[in-house]
Chain A
């Protein structure tokens, strides 16, 4: 069964460093998302992406964040200058058009620790 994959599974970085989190969505999906979950808290929406542009972003997704689909398979989240409060589990998700399937399929997550 196709699944969303994410790399790396864990990343430790120093405050102020740039990080890139990578995701490979399910191959025939058209809509892509990033969510994050700070330890002990609920999952929060960051950004949605369709047709090579951002569809919607939350107030969390400020100028330090960017997303890109550099080729036909990868979907990346970049944090330009990490802060301590960026430490969280970051989930990528993808979905086909709603009329095909209403479900968003989540990857296993990348646990980011900013020191």
Chain B
């Protein structure tokens, strides 16, 4: 099970782009990288998933370098409502995988 390391917290201002990097040095060849967002007293919400290079959807982009030992979640033009905890997880290539949550990154968006 790959262990992930993220910054504990980050502050940003409204309208800025926010990049959160996650280290996963022991990622397995078949592991995918998935990011979740969690608000207080709610379950995590799926943001984006990728395997390599770059993935983009309507809310975020995910950058994965060639060695896949890290990944960066990019949130364009954040707003106050993006204040949340963001988790990076690896796994998901077989029905027997399970997620081990790390500390996550507590993002605070300031006005």
A, B assembled together: no
